[in-house]
A and B are shown apart, each in its own frame.
Chain A
Amino acid sequence: MHIFNRVKYQTPESVELEFVLAGIGSRAWALVIDYHVLALILVVFLIAWVAIAFQLIDWLSNIVGSENIGLWFLAIAILVNYFVYTGYFVFFETLWHGQTPGKRIAKIRVIKDNGQPVGLQQAALRALLRPIDDTLFLGAFFIVFGRREKRLGDWIAGTVVIQAQTRPVSTLTISQQAKPISEQLLQTANISAMLPDDFAVIREYLLRRSGMAVKARNSVALQLAKQVKAIINLEKVPENVSPDLFLEAIYLSYQQSSNFGQ
């Protein structure tokens, strides 16, 4: 959409790549998820740790003969806490090419300034500066007001956060009746007058129609069918064909005529 920030890259093969930046909304959403997962991990760890500590404290103080064994347990717990907090982001961003569970759900990804996937170094720098960015929501201000939406960690590590592939390959269900109609259309109509953009809109409609309200869906289908009819110069629609079915047939014939069905 035109309102989102974008970045462009020139690859060595002089292919231009364009990415949409993640935006504050997705980044906040990802962070909310990640912090909940982290909290869950830490709570489970602490419960387990307390349980272990209670079992071991007496036994250990007998062996070591020190009164301070409880303090040691506390110190180790704090240390592990810190490592889990930092390590969580480093671990996932390195392993999953710039994604954490939260970023995966929010469909965003960290990449290097040059468009390459992030490595251990970048992930670590981002994670180390996270506490500073979290303080007083400093990072949020940087993301909202910066042109490239970089928080301090991104500046130091040389990374940007972009939107990842959004849609899983969804299955398009096309009814059986559409097939013969599409054959017929290929012969009678000028399918090649359709542009890829038109095809994309029809595909989008077919993908989304199941989620639409019945009334709206019918009127959209009718509208699209009329427009397609005008574009491909079709005199009359084959008989007993609903707009929905007609669009399915159009989808099939366009696929066949441009050969990217095979």
Chain B
Amino acid sequence: MSSAAPARSLLRVTGLSVSYRVRVGRGRAALLHAVRDVSFELESGQTLGIVGESGSGKSSIARALLRLIPASSGQACFDGQDLLQLQGAPLQRMRRSLQLIFQDPLASLDPRMSAEEAVSEPLRVFEPALSAAERSARTLAMLEAVGLSARYLHRLPHELSGGQAQRIAIARALIVRPRLLFCDEPLSSLDVSIKSQIANLLMQLQAQLGLSMVFISHDLAAVRFACSRVLVLYLGRVMELADRDALFSAARHPYTRALLQSAPLPDPRLVRQRPAAALGGEIPSPLAPPSGCVFRTRCPHAIDRCAAQIPALRRVGDSLVACHRAEEIAAATLTSCAPPGR
């Protein structure tokens, strides 16, 4: 989908939808559409960022692709196979290629497993033929690759700092040499000074191992640093999909622009130059999404057509945008939305 269209795509997701059956009031159930008709491609060795506010469906996409929850429709072509159709042994084999790290490492690690047990466990599952000596050697090498040492082998999660625990979680995900790593808010629970260490580590491992990544985050600056392509979600639908530079220099969708304007700027002079942030209201309930464009209830540019018709994702400039008025808006205010440069 990027400019080099025919390049090898590792993962091609088409029309992915995820819905949950939820209880609304006594004995009544409703369908909550968490992800609606999402399509994207990920090229080998690249990182796709998925951004959006809570409830936008970011994590549901990852979980459905990893087969942790069922998708209600769609296809996900990975290595010539549809991830969403795999069953039994082929699914089990595929799991090795797709690994996940979570937001809070202290919650995702078993509190009673030492670092060594946690990191070597995937090897026991996927490479049972390995001897104990080979397993320890691989474990130690992996710990070193994430910047830890033998000193940490016998530590339990509560004896680790947040950054160290996230390193263990990364080691555990990468020890079976996956091809695609899903990172679900991998930096959000970390302190500022640790965040950049882990961000650097992920970038370095990606380059070393030729890893492809899906990087889920609500932090736009982290996405700008880590990702080559960015997908913007709102209420389960794709608002915009573009290469990093196109998205951050000339965002086309009003929601992307609002997100960029809302992010706090760590520079008081830029804060004073910036126009007052535009977006009011909050993300509507996914149980009762607005008709037409789901963003229209908060969009400063909404017109009647936006309520009547769901905008299709189409190419405008360098982006794919789901907005009826993308051209007009771009023509009117092409640069005013970007945060003023230094």
Are A and B genuine complex partners?
no
Binding site for B on A (CB under 8 A): none
